Amino acid sequence: MRDTFIKRLCELAEEDPAIMLITGDLGFKVLDEFRDRFPKQFLNAGIAEQNMTGLATGLALEGYTVFTYSIANFTFMRCLEQIRNDAAYHDCNVNVVSVGGGFSYGSLGISHHATEDLTIMRSLPNVEVLAPCDNWETTELTTEMAKRPGVSYLRLDKSTAGETQRPGETFEYGKARVLREGSDVTLAGAGGIVGDVLKAADALAQEGISARVLSLHTVKPLDTDTLASACRETGGLITVEEHTIEGGLGGAVAEALFEQGVQPGFFHRVGLRAGFSSTVGSQQYLRSVYGLDANAIADAVRQRVERRKLRRAA
């Protein structure tokens, strides 16, 4: 998805000289084309993410549309104060791009496991939080970020759900996408882990369990209407995220639904429950270790669908 992001940003920068890209000394092979084609629209701030965000805010106040780019934890966590006090408070056009969301850099350990970013970034006023599941969503969200004022946070990870765009489908910012129709359960995910959600839905279909699958590519703003409809039209709701369950996607969904008085037949969050992810390994390996892969998602559905059947039969 990062290559797709840069490809689209190059197209946008060619049309708009006010678009700037600032990197925290990262991604030179990926960023080479942008740097070579638009040297006046590119800065390397070095391994100094706080300064990177300060530069971005200053440029945004002068009318530029700025994208900052680094590994997930470094582009938002190390410079959180600057994002909050400088960019967000002044509602600047600063777009924070994090590559390596979730367990993308799994072999590098806890310092590179980005499993709290959705919670932290969605808590900030004036910040929109985006987590595409595939290349098409990445392209469309990048386009929207360049057009929309204010601060955005784009979470990219190394995995992808494949090509999910249906023939004739158009993208709507802030609108959840229905990737599968179903009636027994709704599976709502964000980011590349939606690929595992789709695998789980396919496996469940073989067992006669019908799963609706939603891609919540915008975590903030959240499409509460589509989620509420899913609660009314399916047996229950399960959220899936490569992220801690504390305050992340599942928390956002629960807050929005219960505040509107909408209660699903059952509700469960699939996410990191084990505290810090101290194990190291590939992204897919860590999903299996921490119960986030397709098998774990399918098991969570089976358990709750069966419980619901027993309750209704009692």
**Residues known to be catalytic:** 49
Q: Both tokens of residue 120?
A: 């932290």
Contact 114, 106 (CB under 8 A): no
Phi, psi values for residue 85, rounded to 5° = -80, -35
Q: Both tokens of residue 128?
A: 């929109």
Q: Both tokens of residue 292?
A: 């986030």
Which residue reads 């939603």 in tokens?
214
Residue 142: enclosing H or E segment and its boundaries?
Answer: helix 135-147
Distance in angstroms (rounded) separating the CA atoms of residues 122 and 85: 15
Q: Compute the radius of gyration of the chain from its Cα atoms.
A: 19
Q: Both tokens of residue 96?
A: 């924070």
Q: Both tokens of residue 106?
A: 């799994």
3-state secondary structure of 240: strand
Contact 41, 22 (CB under 8 A): no
Distance in angstroms (rounded) separating the CA atoms of residues 13 and 39: 11
